[in-house]
Chains A and B, each alone.
Chain A
Amino acid sequence: MSLTPAIRVRGLVKRFGQTTVLDGIDLDAGRGEVTCLIGPSGSGKSTLLRCIAFLEEATDGFIEIDGEPLGFAAGPSGERMRLPQSAIRPVRSRVGMVFQQFNLWPHMTALGNVSEALVIVRGMKRRDAEARAMAELEKVGLSGRASHYPSELSGGQQQRVAIARALALEPRIMLFDEPTSSLDPELTGEVLNVMRDLAKTGMTMLVVTHEIGFAASVGAKIVFLDHGKLLVQGTPGEVFGKPRHPRIEQFLDTYLDRGAATLL
């Protein structure tokens, strides 16, 4: 692993009006590693991910992607300066995102969803873009569904198309916000398998998940968020191994009453 982390978050604060949702987050995500973000509902996991995706502007603090500041940079005397849009785009384009609700565009086929940005943003010819998109769909095992609209696909298939759509743009970092939470248990596995394969290729991944088994087996690092604060972080062994932090113990009991804790 090289010196600069893929994602570096320092002193991140996010407020919505009066409520402080993120309260001074410091986080490093190693290059080529899978970092799993866990924590109770409302602890700020999605908000943190959305700040790193720049879908949400943090109230204070700094984010660096591959060592380059995202959105805001520290001025000469440490003050926070907003960067111009032209400086935000290239940094942001290194980040791909997969949403809990898939968010596939309903008026485009699977192939259209994956190829659209290649044409619109990258300026590729439609034919070339579709060839690239087809290769991406192949990787997630869905080349046979290329001409289907999202409404004609299962949830698991839709999420795999969404992963292919993000990967087609060759991001350096992939963010996942509870990618399997709106899927039936039978469909969860197929998406987790795609993510496992992706991790093996050395993709840097930051994954918000309630799938503790996945986090423990694939995650190089587990980060536990509670009330907008980063409470515990470490390897799966450190975080889940006994003795556990009492809040983690409680979290595993309360939120994972499915015997998942015993898998650890």
Chain B
Amino acid sequence: MISWKLFSLLVYAAQWTVLYSAISISIGFVMSAGICSATLSRNRALAFAGKLYVSFFRGVPLLVQLLLIYYLLPGVGLDVPSHVAAIAGMALCTSAYQAEILRGGFASVPRGLVEAAEMSGFSRLAIFRRIRMPIAVKLTMPALISEAIMMLKSSSLISVVGVVELTRMAQNLAASTYKPMEIYTAAGFVYLVINLVLVALGYGLEKKLRWGRI
């Protein structure tokens, strides 16, 4: 067992894990809506740009993306603080994944629902915002929650740009206390609890969207 003092240090660091993940996932979600609509656009150039974006950010490891942002951008005169690099890297990465998930959702929105909106005089933007988007999100909620969990776990990578989050704190404590087993077990437990809360939130959200089958 580890002392409460050590454990509370882990919990303190976990706050950063949660904060960085929550901010990145939220920014990534907003970005993904734009990327997804670009991918589905009738404008060929826009669609191509969207697909290129998705291919790049899904194809390059998050670790490499983070290092590129943190070490490459200063080389061209852009000084990137640690927390900005961390959030940017995670948001760019998850937005690509979320956009792909949403794309599947959009494809599953029944055509008739869009036609009913057209007959009611909705603009294309209104159809996107009020009809296609909410239904696509509802249809893909389980996949989006999975992606959020993946992202939360991947946040351990942001320590490479100098952010101290749960995993980095555990490494530091393990090195200074010589109790790696206990510390890493405790850290794994904290990750598990956070993710269980996330899953519960996801179920709650799905229930709240009680409008059932489509």
Contacts and interface: CB of A to CB of B under 8 A. Distances in A.
B113 A105 contact: yes
A150 B210 CA distance: 11
Contacts of B213: 106, 151
Contacts of A120: 122, 126, 130
B211 A106 contact: yes
Contacts of B103: none
Interface in B131-156: 131, 134-135, 138
A149 B116 CA distance: 17
Interface residues of A, number: 28
Contacts of A117: 117, 120-122
A108 B117 CA distance: 13
A105 B112 contact: no
Main secondary structure of the interface of B (DSSP, over half): helix
B146 to A, nearest CB: 22
Contact of B116 (A99, A151, A152): A99
Interface in B197-214: 209-214
B131 A166 contact: no
* From B117, B120, B211, B213, residue with most partner A Cβ within 10 Å: B120
Interface string A75-107: 000000000000001001101110101011111
A92 B121 CA distance: 8
Interface string A120-132: 1100000000000
Contact of A107 (B116, B120, B122, B135): B135
Interface in B77-128: 110, 112-113, 115-122, 126
13 contacts: A55-B118, A89-B121, A101-B110, A103-B110, A103-B115, A106-B113, A106-B211, A107-B135, A108-B211, A120-B130, A121-B122, A151-B213, A166-B120
Contacts of B135: 105-107
B212 A106 contact: yes
B112 A95 contact: no
* From B118, B119, B126, residue with most partner A Cβ within 10 Å: B119
A106 B132 CA distance: 11
A55 B119 contact: yes
A64 interface: no
A121 B211 contact: no
Given A99-B115, A149-B212, A169 B134 contact: no
Given A92-B121, A106-B213, 19 more contacts: A53-B119, A55-B118, A55-B119, A95-B119, A101-B112, A103-B115, A105-B117, A106-B214, A108-B211, A120-B126, A150-B211, A151-B211, A151-B212, A151-B213, A152-B212, A162-B116, A166-B119, A166-B120, A169-B120
A165 interface: yes
Interface in A102-160: 103-108, 116-117, 120-121, 149-152
A149 B214 CA distance: 11
Contacts of B212: 106, 149, 151-152
Nearest to A95: B119
The 9 closest A-B pairs by CB, nearest first: A117-B120, A151-B212, A103-B112, A103-B116, A121-B121, A149-B211, A97-B119, A106-B214, A106-B211
* From A96, A99, A106, A162, residue with most partner B Cβ within 10 Å: A106
A169 B116 CA distance: 13
Contacts of B138: 107
Contacts of B131: 105
B130 to A, nearest CB: 6
A104 B126 CA distance: 16
Contacts of B121: 89, 92-93, 117, 121, 169
Contacts of A151: 211-213
B111 to A, nearest CB: 9
A104 B119 CA distance: 12
Contacts of B122: 117, 120-121
B18 to A, nearest CB: 29
Contacts of A93: 121
Interface in A148-182: 149-152, 162, 165-166, 169
B119 to A, nearest CB: 5
Contacts of A152: 212
A95 B119 CA distance: 8
Nearest to A152: B212
Contacts of A103: 110, 112-113, 115-116
B119 A105 contact: no
